Amino acid sequence: MGYVAPTKNEQAVQYGSRDAAKTHAVQKVSRIEPAKWQRLQRQEEQNAYKLEEQEALLRKRREIEKKLYGKGHRFDRKA
């Protein structure tokens, strides 16, 4: 058996000489403020109901138009 001279371990030297980070690499995100619910005034409530009624009427109108004009149906006939 022969003599093996000591060698430098470059990885160990780099690890030992590194600067440890004093701050985190990813910054902490602050918390989000919880949502505050506000009561609707009487007039705003009525406007919301009117919009729903108008949308329902519009949907009904479109259904009737589809039936009258025959749109929205697939036909399987030869021309």
Task: Give the range of the structural domain holding residue 72, as residue numbers without chain letter.
Answer: 48-78
Q: What is the pLDDT of residue 66?
A: 81
Task: Measure the CA–CA gap between 1 and 3, rounded to whole angstroms.
Answer: 7
**Cα 63 to chain centroid, rounded:** 33
Task: Measure the CA–CA gap between 27 and 34, rounded to whole angstroms.
Answer: 21
Tell me, yes or no, whether 20 lies in a domain. no
Higher pLDDT, 31 or 5: 31
Please determine, for residue 11, whether its predicted confidence score (pLDDT) is greater than 80. Answer: yes
Structurally, the chain folds into a number of domains equal to: 1
Tell me, yes or no, whether 67 lies in a domain. yes
Enter the tokens of residue 44: 């705003």
Please determine, for residue 75, whether its predicted confidence score (pLDDT) is greater than 70. Answer: no
Q: How many residues does the chain have?
A: 79
Q: Do the beta carbons of residue 48 and residue 40 sit within 8 Å? A: yes
pTM of the model: 0.34
